[in-house]
Amino acid sequence: MTEAQKPHQFPCQQCGAELTFAPGKEALDCVYCGFSNPIEGIKGEVVEHDYHQVLAQRARISDQVQDRVVKCGMCAAEFEVTAHQTSDRCAYCDTPIVVEATNKNLIPASHLVPFVIDVRRAREQFRAWLKTRWFAPNSFKKQARQDAALKGMYAPYWTYDSDTYSDYKGMRGDDYYVTETYTTTENGRSVTRTRQVRRTRWTSVSGRVYNTFDDVLVLGSHSLPKRYADALEPWDLGQLTKYEDSYVSGFGCEVYQVNLEQGFEEATKIMDAHIRQSVCRDIGGDHQRITWLHTEYNDITFKHILLPIWVSAYRYRRKVWTFLVNGQTGEVQGERPYSWIKITALSVTVAAIVGTLIWYFNQ
């Protein structure tokens, strides 16, 4: 049997009770004696890591990750923590724990954005968001308000920086107008008229554009719905703080499932959209077509960070619905069903109003 790991736990400096991080504070406040235990978090310059150098260093190390057995320091219970968790609560006494990843090839998070939004405010934001979902079934809204349990977790992200140059070939379209003569019938007679008609003159072009990218953000998790996680942006990365176990005490914390190379592939897709915009600006004219594009990425650096998200997932009509709340700004994103009764009722109402207006003006 695997020997149980000893998790990191955080006793109060005054009374010894276990502590959890309180969103919006720079200390772990004890709920028993009231003592404020400061966190030695450090804001300031954030170090970027050389992308190719780190890849070379880790190419010789195994990527295997195993589940772990941990032993609670409070009640001595032993239980399993999955390979993609680095923080949780004891399944028996609810004591917050932080464990170390067993895969030495994993790149540890260097910084995080601490939770600012607490669970009470996150729930308020969630309920306010529900009220604006006009076409969601009323039963869904009611169940969501009653059943939604929010869990705070730190989600893994990559950020990438790069200087790029892109060679391109394409077409520039410049509009011009010509006078066209045409024949029409007016008052039963054939008459000749003229009109201005737009034409486009296309010219072959080629060139090179340069771009600098800073902190291109890529989600490192497969557990969260990417569509909604991406919609939680923007994040204020100016609030990044050096990683400390104290910040994740009492919250879930996931190990990345999108590795460094996969994350950069995703980042290049984000960069490509901006590069194409810059190419179109460089081509100029009224219309642009890109027929060939090649980009070189230079001076690539990265960092692995954790961002705070409140997560709620519950079952409604045999389907699981997920909601996310940005733990820094309170932005809410999620999915919900549609009430076809409400949509049909609105359609009938609009049709009735339009019909009434037409009748009125005809009279």
Tokens for 70, please give them.
């941990």
Which of 54-63, 176-185, 281-290, 340-349 is the least confident region?
A: 340-349
Integer Cα distance of 312 and 277 in angstroms: 37
Q: Is the pLDDT of residue 256 over 60?
A: yes
pLDDT in tens, 142-187: 544 554 578 888 999 999 999 999 999 999 999 999 999 989 888 8
Please check whether residue 105 is in contact with residue 58, taking contact to mean a CB–CB distance below 8 angstroms.
Answer: yes
pLDDT for 42 equals 55
Tokens for 26, please give them.
């720079």
Position with higher pLDDT, 58 vs 157: 157
The CA–CA distances, whole Å, from 213 to 216, 218, 278 equal 7, 13, 13
Please report how many Cα atoms fall inside a 13 Å half-sphere around the Cα of residue 312, on the Cβ side. 26
* pTM metric for this prediction: 0.74
Q: What value, to the nearest 5°, has the Cα angle with vertex 264 and ends 297 and 281? A: 50
Q: Residue-wise over 27-60: b if at least 16 C-beta within 10 A, else e?
A: ebebeeeeeeeebebeeeebebeebeeeeeebee
Integer Cα distance of 144 and 184 in angstroms: 64
Q: What value, to the nearest 5°, has the Cα angle with vertex 23 and ends 19 and 25? A: 80
Which of 79-83, 139-143, 185-189, 306-310 is most confident?
306-310
pLDDT for 323 equals 83
